[in-house]
Chains A and B, each alone.
Chain A
Amino acid sequence: MKKIEWLMNTKIWRSIFRTKLPISTNLDRSLVIFNSLTLHIHPVKVREKAICFSYTFYLGMISFFLFVILIVTGILLMLYYQPAIPNAYQNMKDIQYVVSNGTFLRNMHRWSAHLMVFTVFLHMLRVFFKGAYKPPREFNWIIGVILLLLTLLLSYTGYLLPYDQLSYWAVTVGANIVKYVPFIGTKIRFLLLGGNQIGDYTLVRFYVLHCVILPSVMLLLVALHFWRIRKDGGLL
């Protein structure tokens, strides 16, 4: 405790965290949260029951945490993966059998992805059964629906990347479902695949969607989602 106090009084610490020391009043405590970007994710004041486990089952936070794992493991996977035919499939095999701890990394990414779909869905059920979608939270529900769709789209685009038989036929089936959109279905399918059949362009398109576009949108919306929770008056 003494050491921490000493650390908090060093010049370097004081240059990073501007909070006035010592922290003694309620106002000081609020300022710790208020003045720090990382702690700012929580509001200055939280209702006691809202941080109780059985209240939210932490499902939203677990989803977010899985998303962070997916970003970290995904960036590492990118170092050994090339979105090209036939490299993609060979790269995946190399990651599993040649790269140190590659199997572990790949499994982390895959299992987290499966789990995230599951927890996001459970989170939605939690919100639904608690009636937390009602005004003033109706817009956060809409953001949530988009987040669910993004989660599913990330799974779908990621599924093609190993470029094995499962990937190929799953994306064939998915792209043909897209074709049933009235009037513009065939055109959307063409743009999605970058052609009439799955090929090199498809792989690159799915790669860019999976690694750049969808995660960026997701990050932006998650930030909005968290911000809305506060502006809607905290957790219900």
Chain B
Amino acid sequence: MEDKDKINNHNDSAKVITRRDFFNKIGTTATGVVLLGSLGVTLDFLSPNVLLEIPKEFKIGPLENIQPDSVIDNAEHHVFIFREHPGSFYAVSSICTHLGCNTKWNPAGIEGHPEGVIACPCHGSIFDKKGNVLHGPAPRSLDRFLVRVENDKLVINTDEIVSEDKMIVKV
């Protein structure tokens, strides 16, 4: 058998596949396929399909219950909801853009921002009330969410992130 293998290997013109080569190839390929398959199946298994997390969309209202010039800190969804004087609303994420801690609304503000700031306890980032960074280490402004008005309530979905100029809704 071994002699025969050698002869075949040295003979370039006729590429004969021996029975042993054939079964070796089939075996290795099958093992490879099974290994790759089980890797895929395991990865799939590790990724949960049903999550008991709170829904991304939520409602706040009715509108007259929201004080003008006030801030609601919705801790459940990690969102600040601001109402400004004439009846304009906007929503800013309370999750710090540095490494994800919960920020707090600080009504006392800091020098130059007496209207109040959003501050992070973890590494000291500070944002203005529109979510812009005043102070690092946060690399970018807080997420702003699209706010819609439905049946006298604000509807906010934390999947719908908008830019600063599109965040305000007026009623």
Contacts and interface: CB of A to CB of B under 8 A. Distances in A.
A199 B43 CA distance: 20
A195 B46 CA distance: 10
Interface size class of B (residues with CB under 8 A): 10 to 19
Interface in A152-186: 169, 172-173, 175-177
Contacts of A201: 48, 51
Nearest to B121: A169
A195 B49 CA distance: 9
A196 B95 CA distance: 13
A194 interface: yes
B99 A191 contact: no
A133 interface: no
Contact of B100 (A172, A190, A191): A172
Given A169-B122, A190-B47, A177 B53 contact: no
23 contacts: A169-B101, A169-B122, A172-B99, A172-B100, A172-B101, A173-B99, A173-B100, A173-B101, A173-B122, A190-B47, A191-B46, A191-B47, A194-B48, A195-B48, A195-B51, A195-B53, A196-B51, A196-B53, A197-B53, A199-B51, A200-B52, A201-B48, A201-B51
Contacts of A169: 101, 122
Interface of A: 169, 172-173, 175-177, 190-191, 194-197, 199-201
B79 to A, nearest CB: 14
B113 to A, nearest CB: 25
Contacts of B46: 191, 194
A177 to B, nearest CB: 7
Nearest to A194: B48
Interface in B40-58: 43, 46-48, 51-53
Interface in B80-110: 99-101
Contacts of B47: 190-191
Interface residue SS majority, chain B: loop
Q: A-B pairs with the 7 shortest C-beta distances?
A: A176-B100, A173-B99, A176-B99, A195-B51, A172-B100, A191-B46, A194-B48
A60 B48 CA distance: 40
B92 to A, nearest CB: 18
Contacts of A197: 53
A194 B47 CA distance: 7
A170 B100 CA distance: 10
A30 to B, nearest CB: 42
Contacts of A196: 51, 53
A103 to B, nearest CB: 29
Interface string B25-51: 000000000000000000100111001
A177 B52 contact: no
B99 to A, nearest CB: 4
Interface in B46-75: 46-48, 51-53
A173 B122 CA distance: 9
Contacts of A175: 100
Interface string B109-133: 0000000000000100000000000
B51 to A, nearest CB: 5
A173 B48 CA distance: 22
Nearest to B46: A191
A38 to B, nearest CB: 37
Interface in B8-31: none
B116 to A, nearest CB: 23
Contacts of A200: 52
A94 B99 CA distance: 32
B157 to A, nearest CB: 14
